[in-house]
Amino acid sequence: MAAGTIRYWAAAKAAAGIAEEPYAAATLAEALDAARERHPGELVQVLKRCSFLVDEAPVGTRPHESVRLTDGGTVEVLPPFAGG
């Protein structure tokens, strides 16, 4: 199990009610499941539309169960952004 930080941006930040929090998880799927448990409601819906960066690398279409997290790592939760 790794320990690091989840950072929420824009609508994800509003839905979670915080800008960041720690994670203790082996995979992105585990970290997101724990976030859903801590923040039921709107964040659960927002996460369905988000993209993710793990240690600055885009997750893309990889299954979240296959994305390993690192000690001291960072997960960026990025909802769709409007504008350009």
Q: Is 51 helix (H, G, I), strand (E, B) or coil?
A: strand
Question: Is the whole-model pTM more than 0.85?
Answer: yes
Residue 48 pLDDT? 96
Nearest to 68 by CA among 22, 10, 29: 29
Cα separation, 8 vs 46, whole angstroms: 11
- First and final C-alpha spacing in the chain: 38
Q: What is the pLDDT of residues 31-47, one digit of tens each?
A: 999 999 999 999 999 99
CB atoms within 10 A of CB 78: 18
Q: What is the pLDDT of residues 7-29, one digit of tens each?
A: 999 999 999 999 999 999 999 99
Tokens 């499941």 locate to: 33
Q: What is the pLDDT of residues 41-82, one digit of tens each?
A: 999 999 999 999 999 999 999 999 999 999 999 999 999 875
